[in-house]
A and B are shown apart, each in its own frame.
Chain A
Amino acid sequence: GAGVSQSPSNKVTEKGKDVELRCDPISGHTALYWYRQSLGQGLEFLIYFQGNSAPDKSGLPSDRFSAERTGGSVSTLTIQRTQQEDSAVYLCASSLVTSGPSYNEQFFGPGTRLTVL
């Protein structure tokens, strides 16, 4: 029914703390993506899931960042020992992935605004 949802919508944390961001994709969408939207950097790809596996983690900026997806549905992006430069809007998207090479439109969530003090 509803589109991609993300929680929390806003998160303020202190430097050094860990945070977890959640994404609920559109029901039936097998692919899930995390992006980061920050001033001056535009939209950066972080990680892509197909089902529960992550064939492309190339965008994760450091080993403080990790993500998992369980049951082929909900995903959690975890940032450990947050730094001020982690402040950004974290966007999640999902898409159907059919067999073959053709692109399937990604539908975006509203994002989580993370502020690290």
Chain B
Amino acid sequence: AQRVTQPEKLLSVFKGAPVELKCNYSYSGSPELFWYVQYSRQRLQLLLRHISRESIKGFTADLNKGETSFHLKKPFAQEEDSAMYYCALLQGAQKLVFGQGTRLTINP
């Protein structure tokens, strides 16, 4: 079964420290993966997708097929990065399978 696992429900780091949000997936085939973010009192929105290989707001994520991972990283965390982060796997052409989410808190 296709599944996305985010092992950390909560993650807290200090401002300026590196941050890594973990995501592992199970999928038979060539996966297409995404990170979505939900800031306080805002809508869920797309942060980045692996095929675009972009860096958004300083975040990057590399697909590692050997480890079936798609961890989200940022070298220097900022307070405005505090949010709920969801990793998602595309199933079929349109359906997204989400992980349980990680609440990231950046301490000043």
Q: Which residues of A contact B (CB under 8 A)?
A: 3-4, 31, 33, 35, 40-45, 48, 50, 56, 91, 93, 95, 97, 101-111
Contacts and interface: CB of A to CB of B under 8 A. Distances in A.
B94 interface: yes
Contact of A42 (B86, B94, B95): B86
Q: Which 8 A-B pairs have the closest CB atoms?
A: A42-B100, A43-B98, A108-B44, A108-B43, A42-B101, A101-B93, A105-B46, A42-B98
Given A3-B43, A110-B43, A103 B93 contact: yes
Nearest to B87: A42
Interface of B: 6, 32, 43-46, 49, 86, 88, 90, 92-101
Contacts of A50: 94
A97 B95 CA distance: 12
A41 B94 contact: no
B100 A41 contact: yes
